[in-house]
């Protein structure tokens, strides 16, 4: 049974780099790993997506090892406004969506 596991919560401070890792066994071999950000009372918002190795955009980086059994979202130099819940999303080998339970990230001044 496919499962996606992320830490329930994390704390950090402004200006630090934050890494959130998601473990996902039995994912589809040819589909993307996607991360979303959600603020209270809003819908999730797409952050980044990757298939393997490293992907970087203007807000984050995503590291995916060769075995694709995990992925790490990296947020450089976080600010208070990065306080949110972060979800990883994959497809399992039956191409069913598997959402992580979310990581509540709290950034302190």
What is the contact surface with another protein in residues (CB under 8 A)?
31-32, 34, 36, 41-46, 49, 87, 89-91, 95, 97, 99-102
Question: Which of 95, 109 has the CB closer to another protein?
Answer: 95
| CA pair distance 83, 87, nearest whole angstrom | 13
Question: Which of 16, 101 has the CB closer to another protein?
Answer: 101
| CA pair distance 20, 40, nearest whole angstrom | 19
Quick one: which of 75, 79, 84, 102 has its CA closest to 13?
A: 79
Question: Which of 36, 68 has the CB closer to another protein?
Answer: 36
Note whether 24 and 33 are within 8 A (CB).
yes
Question: Which of 7, 16 has the CB closer to another protein?
Answer: 7
Instruction: Answer positive or negative: Cα dihedral of 44, 13, 104, 95.
Output: positive
Q: How far is CA 6 from the centre of its chain?
A: 8
């Amino acid at each position: 049974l496919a499962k996606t596991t992320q830490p329930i919560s994390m704390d950090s401070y402004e200006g630090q780099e934050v890494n959130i890792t998601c473990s996902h066994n039995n994912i589809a071999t040819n589909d993307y790993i996607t991360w979303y950000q959600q603020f209270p009372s809003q819908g999730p918002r797409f952050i980044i997506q990757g298939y393997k190795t490293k992907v970087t955009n203007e807000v984050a980086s995503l590291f995916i090892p060769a075995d694709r059994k995990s992925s790490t979202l990296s947020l450089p130099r976080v600010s208070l406004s990065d306080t949110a819940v972060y979800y990883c999303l994959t497809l399992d080998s039956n191409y069913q969506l598997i959402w992580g339970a979310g990581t509540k990230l709290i950034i302190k001044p």
